[in-house]
Amino acid sequence: MNNLPPQLRLLVVEDDDISQFLINKLLTDLHITFVIVSNGPEALEILRLEAFDAILMDIEMPVMSGFEATSIIRNSENTDIKNIPIIGMSANPFEIAQEPYLEIGMNEYITKPIHELELLEKLEKQIKAKE
């Protein structure tokens, strides 16, 4: 059911160790190539060094929130970075309104725990839209 490109590279920005473990297992099982960083500044630094097809961005993180990091990415002068699809992640099940995430420049929003089919659907949609 995975219709993603075989060499999909994904940047995961997540500060919580348990969430990192669960996302690591999920993405490994899906055979998706990924890198996990713990906060916004680390994400911005690695984006200067490596190319990624998409970003899974936690919303609430110390140091720099997912909103701040997304805003910096979207205002980047580097179009390769500026146009990367960003899927916001939150453990808040009551956060139904996606408008704040979309307004800041995220392409999608997903709640944790992440469900495999929902993640695949959102990644496929965003990768196709980018092509």
Q: How far is CA 112 from the centre of its chain?
A: 12
Q: Which residues of 40-72 are buried (b: 16+ CB within 10 A; e: fewer)?
A: bebbbeebeeeebbbbbbbbebeebbbbebbeb
Q: Residue 16, exposed/middle/buried by CB under 10 A (0-12, 13-18, 19+)?
A: middle
Q: What 3-state class would DSSP assign to 56?
A: strand
Q: What is the pLDDT of residues 101-116, one digit of tens each?
A: 788 899 998 988 899 9
Helix 116-130 × helix 17-29 angle, to 10°: 70
The pTM for the full model equals: 0.92
Consecutive 10-residue averages of pLDDT for the chain (131 residues): 76 96 95 95 96 94 93 94 94 68 88 92 89 72
Supply the pLDDT for residue 104: 87
pLDDT score at 99: 73
Domain ranges of the chain: 9-130
> What is the per-residue pLDDT across 27-36, written as a single tens digit (0 to 9) for each?
999 999 999 9
Fold adopted by 9-130: Rossmann fold (3.40.50)
